[in-house]
Amino acid sequence: MNTVAIDRSPAPKVRDLLLIGAGHAHVQVLRSFLMQRPSHCRVTLIIDRPVAVYSGMVPGYVAGQYRAEELEIDPLPLARRAGARVVFGKALRIDPAARCVHVEGRSALKYDVASINIGSTVMGLELPGVSEHALSTRPIGRFTARVAQVDALAAALGGARALRLVIAGGGAGGVELACCFDARLKAKGVRAHITMVHAGTQLLPGYGNSIGDRVARALGSRGVQLVTQRKVASARADSITLDDGSVLDCDALVWSTGAASHSLFADSGLPTDARGFVLTRSTLQVVGHDDLFAVGDCAALVDYPDTPKAGVYAVREGPYLADNLRATLLREALRSYRPQPDFLTLLNLGDGTAIGVKKGFSFEGRWAMRWKDRIDRKFMRGFQLLEADGSDGPAVRMLPAMPAGMDIVCGGCAAKLGQSALERALARLDAPPAAPEVVLGLDEADDVAAYRIDAGAAGGSVMVVSVDFFRGFTDDPYLVGRIAAENALSDLDAKGVTPRWAQALVAIPLAADEEEGEEVLYQVLAGARAVFDARGVRLLGGHTSKSMDLEVGFSVQGVSAAGAVLARRRGALAVGQQLVLTRALGTGVLFHADMAGRARGPWIEAALASMLRGNGAARSVAGAARAATDITGFGLAGHLVSMLGGGSVSARIHVDALPALPGALALLARGERSTFHPENARMARALAVDPGLRDDPRLQLIYDPQTAGGLLLAFDAKDVPDALAQLRAAGYGEAAVIGEITAARPDGAAAEIVR
């Protein structure tokens, strides 16, 4: 008799790898994992900005040689294709004993292995007035976003006199910026007087006299004044004071001093050198912490303490880091990194030429700039997966296909039973028994239930109850918990009712072991508590179970004031009233694209910010509306038709007035659709749609399923200006009038959709 052996050994434990920062080394790690993902490993990328900027091309951007998007790396699609989750937030502290990272605005994240690649900041920002008035070159992304401020200052002068620009710092960055700002301002026809303040006696210390002499000539030919052996002591809006007491008039101050360490390391108690940079061994592991790595400008190699703070080293460390992280996870031998004793330096002079030095030999010319441009563009091509409009970049064609199962059915409010099926199922039920205390129940479709709890009192208080439950739409359980809480509170917000209590419904993934299940539940409830506690809602308890995927929901309750009108207020809708939408649409299509690595980081960051804003601050405005509903899984079209209620009035929606989240229209125009979108689009049969809108992505926006969406409110026309003012003051800057209530249409259409 043949027997089959059954392997009953426990599944290997999934180990957590945290990547803190999206610097030059970490994007290489993600690309390496994209090509060959380590087994039994969950990778999480923590970033405080949705886009990383390549430092080598920043001077060229200042000179107008590159567009902003050409020097940006979007780590989100890279991470998605590598199977990594992304957490937006700033790492505040590392607890190496507990193996966790504390992140701003959320609960701590545990790790088995972690790596830090956050670059450096600049020295002297603590000096009086510097952080307030200087244009600091770190963080790089903030610097590039503020370069146009120099243009604005020049424009304000109107040519009355030369713009007085001071560059603090005589290193490679300061030299490039002096030359490239000179090129930028000349191209704009701006007269400028540029001064460089340098603490040393010689520019580019450590690079040798040969390149120093070339740089001095280049600056001299541009009229750049050098002030050496001096430091900036303080800054004001129109001047700087040097350490000898002298004062320089200054319209714009660019701060490009030497590298300084982030407070993350000191706050974490990790070993550092005298300047505060975390100490690492040649394996790139933090000294005394084999499960913690650090690379790039934030780290100092104990075996090579004189290694300069230059991006080239982070680039060279990338492959070593990827190999050593994989080896640590697999408990294999690690490689030792040895920084090259010399490297090619190419300085962009802003006019199409560059100065270079290698092994003490210097050179310059247009050919040198072409060489630098080729090197920089080649590096960037490997990481720019999406174009600025979200379409595939050239790098996508060089990558393997997305892993099977990545492009799956949407979660959030896009994962629900269709509206028509729901209505048919409810219609098949027998009428519920009479219950005089019920204000809103099964016999009247609504987003909430309501019943009297003290009928003997004058008017009677009413308990208002709602429940919402969805499958996780992203792989961060803390974020799912926060947004599920906001989504659950939204129905009461639409009614103008203050929520007071909540109970949780959480299904943990079947694949999670006990330890992982505990962590997932903790993260979900911590996220929910962050919302409930801020809103004064008490989480009372709940129920947990297991399912194929993470599923989270909440039942929320609140008590209405006696005599409050809680019904849908269909009878209160009247011709001429205007419809106000409080927040932008597009979460469904954005998160569907995100699952497949087709959404840009800034788009998802904006969508999350909108979802996390919630509707609590709009509750009082909603309470004054004639009718209100929140926009969730059935999309704007489905919830509008439901609010209109069946024939006494109709509505006209102007699609050009619809606010859209960044990226949503671009994705819809390319045919991207949430998996629940086709079900919602069936609502077109109840609408009269302008034929000219057939190919307009804004038409598709009304069918896009929303998770934790905004409110749709109906107001008398005279009340709209005040309502919009209140909404915008409460943080809903996108609130807009999108249509009006009209007389019932002869053709029976619930609403008309026009441009």
The amino acid present at 229, given as its one-letter code, is: Q
What counts of helices (H) and strands (E) characterise the chain? 22, 39
- Among 124, 146, 127, smallest CA distance to 135 is for 146
- The tokens describing 346, both together, are 């190419």
Q: How many whole angstroms separate alpha carbon 55 and alpha carbon 76?
A: 19
Residues 264 and 93 sit within 8 Å (Cβ to Cβ) = yes
> How many C-beta atoms lie closer than 10 Å to residue 750's C-beta?
23
The full length of the chain comes to: 755
Q: At what angle do helices 311-329 and 24-35 cross, to 10 degrees?
A: 40
Using H for helix, E for strand and C for coil, what is the string for 266-326? HHHCCCECCCCCEEECCCCEECCEEEEEECHHHEEECCCCCCCCCHHHHHHHHHHHHHHHH
> Among the residues of 536-670, which ranges form H helices?
587-595, 601-613, 619-623, 635-644, 664-669
Catalytic residues: 413
The set of residues, in sequence order, having a beta carbon less than 8 Å from that of 9 and lying 6+ positions away, is none
- The tokens describing 657, both together, are 């007035």
| Burial class of residue 742, CB neighbours in 10 A (0-12, 13-18, 19+) | middle
The residue written with tokens 């929303």 in the block is 706
> Among the residues of 684-751, which ranges form H helices?
697-701, 720-729
Using H for helix, E for strand and C for coil, what is the string for 131-149? HHHEEECCCHHHHHHHCHH
Q: Dihedral, CA atoms, 609, 612, 614, 616, nearest 10 degrees? A: -110
